[in-house]
Amino acid sequence: MKTSRTIGFAAAALCLALLAGCETPDSRIRNSPQIFARLTPDQQALVKGGQIAVGFDMDMVRLALGEPTRITMKTNRGGQYEVWHYVTYEDYQGAVIYTGYYHRWGGWGSPVFWGDVGYYDGFPVRVHDRIRVEFDTGGRVDRIEQDKT
């Protein structure tokens, strides 16, 4: 009896952890209402739809898209700037296997990568930038690249 109760608690905790990891623009807006309140109505509409625009700052991008999968730094004549990558993990025919940030948890069922290639459950996969956001040296979106749907 005690074992089944422990298993029940563990299952409930796991479900809560998984649900907490499923962020949406609405949940991020609820968690950061002060950032959302300072946006114009047009910007608010974009954020609610999970979209961004040139000129958004980093907080606005996080509100719309969540945490990037990875961040790289670039340097040009103007200085250093960040590039945020929101990626999918695909097999070599291009079929999406996994999307998002949570590969960082590690463990069973999580992709393991070395650069842009790796393995997911023993199968070779590649990293594909679904959305790539380049910021200017002032921390505002300068360029957006994304797959055409």
What residue spans define the domains of the chain?
2-146
Q: 70 forms bridges with which residues in the sheet?
A: 85
Distance of CA 86 to the CA centre of its chain: 5
pLDDT by residue for the chain (149 residues), tens only, comes to 455 544 544 444 444 444 445 689 999 999 999 999 999 999 999 999 999 999 999 999 999 999 998 899 999 998 999 999 998 877 777 777 666 654 444 444 555 555 556 666 666 777 778 899 999 999 999 999 988 76
CB-count burial class (<10 Å; 0-12, 13-18, 19+) for 59: middle
